[in-house]
Structure 1
Amino acid sequence: MSERKTPFRPSRAAYAEAAAWLVQLHGAGRDAELEADFRAWLKAGSGDHAAAFERVTEVWDKAGEVDIRGLARVTSRAAFERKQPRWRVAAAAMVLSVLGLGVFLLSSHDMEYTTGIGEQRTVRLSDGTRLSLNQDSAVDVDYDGRRRIVRLSRGEVLFEVAHDVQHPFVVMAGDRTVTALGTSFVVRKESDEMDVTLLEGKVSVASLMAVRASGAFEKEQGEITLKPGQYLRVRAGERPQLDVRRADAATAWRRGEVILDGTPLGEAVAEMNRYDPHRLEIDDADLGQVRVSGIYRTGDNLDFARSVASIYGLKVKEEASHIRLTKD
């Protein structure tokens, strides 16, 4: 007796994104960058994205058999330019409606995106905003009609925000909010720390006192406004620290690199361990204060350990589960 296989069904989020991609790719605003982003989106979906796009495209191709004159008018008026997100979303919603999935998917726009260890992912949202997720990251996107809200529960994300004065873009990470209108910045969230690096534009970082059960913002205080090139670090129980940071260092992970500039070895080890399960350890407090500089490949702790050892006269001890740096 043969086993009956359950048909593969793409997720609702995949259908919503596929519809948005469809209207962009059929428009006058199509360019090489858009096509590259689309290919990355297809690849990132592990079959989910490709299946959703295939089904949405099938409906599009059969449009002559269905009365979708309203869709044609919307898409024509929009000209699919990325500077007009509200029309692109409207067209995508109509495609979803033809599919029988309902426009609520794009009107509420509540989606979650994650990456695993060693995985990176780029997501293009319906308003044109692009999120680049570093490994082991998780975000929840909630566009409620008033604000564009993204909750970063862990990891690191590069935000390239589409300008929209009427709908502020807010990133919530721990007890902090990062608000922008149209800009580029990196937010990193760990268990007891939140970092923000501003690459372009302007953002404000505030402490969130409370959030009502409805999810609305109650009150914010202690707002700090960043300028391009500035870096804000917030650690539990400490005052926020404002410093400067090179843009290439803030986004080095996208190139598979870690850039260290006089970084204490203890912090450098913690950073390298984010990308390699073969963990690096040091058991000397003084050794952890040694300053390290250079550009290193992520996911190669052994090469990093050997390089540091050769510079500072240390020894590398390889063990089954970890690598140890010692003075003797």
Structure 2
Amino acid sequence: MKIEPMDQSSGRGPSQQVVKQAIHWLLRLRNHAANPALRQQCEAWRIAHHDHELAWQRVQSLHSELTSSLRAVPGARTALDTLETSAQRLGRRQALKLLSGVAVMGCAAWLGKDLGWQPWSADFATATGERRGFQLPDGTRLELNTNSAADLDYTASQRLITLTRGEIMLTCGRDPGRPLLVKSRHGLFEGLEGRFVVRQDNDCTRLSVASGHVAIRSHVGSDGAPIQVEAGQSYLISASTATLAPPLDMDAGAWADGLIVTRNMRLEDFLNEVGRYRRGYLKCAASIADLRLSGVFRLADTDKLLAVLPHTLPVQIHYRTRWWITVERTA
């Protein structure tokens, strides 16, 4: 769905009233899923204003994250099922209060530490294991990887996307009058055209350009001009430096197609990557950390992905629980 430009008078995000309307639509659709007319009415409400769509995406993201997180807490499944059943039996006003109150009830401390409530404050966000794509007002395609969040600030003079968490892929065209800027914790980048990936880690941001070229506006080269990154190049950017990265041992943008594509990748690094798409503990014994693997792995089901490893490496998978997995050398 194409998101219409934001009315500048509406501020940085949807009002509390608009968010309540989005919760209202979510409840109605959950209780009347087989009603096509109601779904069309919701679609019409979403496209009527930019803030409506932003509120809808936030409510959807938070609902998905809360549901999966609550079900991950031992003993919480029954409580959550009871909560959902109770909400269906209540009137609309009471149900709105109940759903709105979920975020501050029960497992609030556990969830707050894990989620940081990011979906409420970001224009676009994904939960752990989720990947989503959006068509922006100017035609730019924005893809969010697992556990990622970004804010959108478009004006008459610039297009600014702030990556607050995780990883994004952008496919954009040239607009001389309005540069497309991407801001991370470590730098500012201008997408001149093509496709590129920005991944923000704790200590640095990795910029990988698949096609076209990108300028690192926050850092300059030896000639005093912004550093130009060409197709096929990757840079590691900290607050003070920007250095050309060695060739990657995985395809930087394959996640947008639901894949991890590796090239002679260390097992420990591979498991760290897979761990981004699931909750819990996933590690390997130090004695096999340097085993190498190459291949194409599907992210849709990480348990099935892990089950493939013993067929390609001398390892075995041990599940202590659903959320505690170790990979060890075959006995």
Q: Percent identity?
A: 24
Written as runs of structure 1 = structure 2, the 5 A alignment for 1:90-101 is none
1:165 aligns with 2:176: yes
| Equivalent residue in structure 1 for 2:45, among 40, 52, 77 | 52
Secondary structure of the residue aligned to 1:156 is strand
Q: Label 1:183 to 1:48 Cα distance change in 2 as closer, same or farther (>3 A).
A: farther
Cα distance in 1 for residues equivalent to 2:143 and 2:327: 33
Q: 1:272 aligns with which of 250, 253, 274?
A: 274
Aligned partner letter, 1:115: T
**CA separation of 1:144 and 1:289: change in aligned 2, threshold 3 A:** same
Q: In 2, distance between residues paired with 1:189 and 1:47?
A: 37
Question: 1:272 corresponds to which letter in structure 2?
Answer: V
Superposed CA offset, 1:252-275 (max 9, x none): 212221111111111111110111
Amino acid at match of 2:278: D
Corresponding residue for residue 200 of structure 2: 189
Secondary structure at the counterpart of residue 45 of structure 2? helix
Aligned to 1:5: none
Alpha carbons of structure 1 residues 287 and 186: separation in structure 2 relative to 1, 3 Å: same
User: Hey, what's the Cα distance between the residues in 1 that align with 2:154 and 2:45?
Assistant: 22
Give, in whole Å, the separation in 2 of the partners of 1:141 and 1:54: 17
Pair 54,313 (structure 1): closer, same or farther in 2 beyond 3 Å: closer
| TM-score in terms of structure 1 length | 0.58
Q: CA separation in 2, counterparts of 1:291 and 1:48?
A: 52
Q: Which residue of 1 aligns with 2:138?
A: 127
Mapped to 2, the partners of 1:168 and 1:303 lie a distance apart of 42
Q: 1:155 aligns to what?
A: 166
Mapped contact 2:315–2:328 kept (Cα < 8 A): yes
Q: For residues 224-243 of structure 1, what are the structure 2 equivalents within 5 Å?
A: 224-234=227-237, 240-243=243-246
For normalisation by structure 2, the TM-score amounts to 0.58
Q: Give the 3-state SS of the residue equivalent to 1:183 in structure 2.
A: strand
Equivalent residue letter for 2:212: G
Q: How does 1:166-315 map to 2 (within 5 A)?
A: 166-207=177-218, 223-234=226-237, 240-244=243-247, 249-277=251-279, 279-284=281-286, 286-315=287-316
Q: Distance in 2 between matches of 1:299 and 1:53?
A: 28
- What is the SS of the residue equivalent to 2:251? helix
Separation in 1, partners of 2:315, 2:213: 43
Q: Secondary structure at the match of 1:249?
A: coil
Residues 29-82 of structure 1 deviation map (CA, whole Å, 9 limit, x = unaligned)? xxxxxxxxxxxxxxxxx99971425657xxxxxxxxxxxxxxxxxxxxxxxxxx
**How much is the aligned-residue C-alpha RMSD, in angstroms?**
3.5
List aligned pairs for 1:35-46, cutoff 5 A.
Answer: none
Letter in 2 for 1:117: T
Q: Which residue of 1 aligns with 2:66?
A: none
Secondary structure, aligned partner of 1:150: strand
Corresponding residue for 1:61? none
1:118 alignment partner, SS class: coil
Highest Rg: 1 or 2? 1
Local SS of the residue matching 1:308 = helix
1:1-150 aligned at under 5 Å gives the runs: 16=5, 50-53=43-46, 55=48, 112-150=123-161
Which letter does structure 2 place at the counterpart of 1:249?
D
The question of whether the paired residues in 2 share the 8 Å contact of 1:184 and 1:200 is answered with yes
Structure-2 separation of matches of 1:223 and 1:237: 14
Q: Which secondary structure state, in structure 2, belongs to the residue aligned with residue 142 of structure 1?
A: strand
Alpha-carbon separation, structure 1, partners of 2:155 and 2:325: 48
**Distance (whole Å) between structure 2 residues aligned to residue 289 and residue 236 of structure 1:** 30
User: Cα distance, 1:238 vs. partner?
Assistant: 8.0
Question: Which structure 2 segments of 5+ residues have no match?
Answer: 8-38, 50-121
Question: Which whole-Å CA distance do the structure 2 matches of 1:142 and 1:205 have between them?
Answer: 19
Equivalent residue, structure 2, for 1:68: none
CA distance in 2, matches of 1:269, 1:237: 30
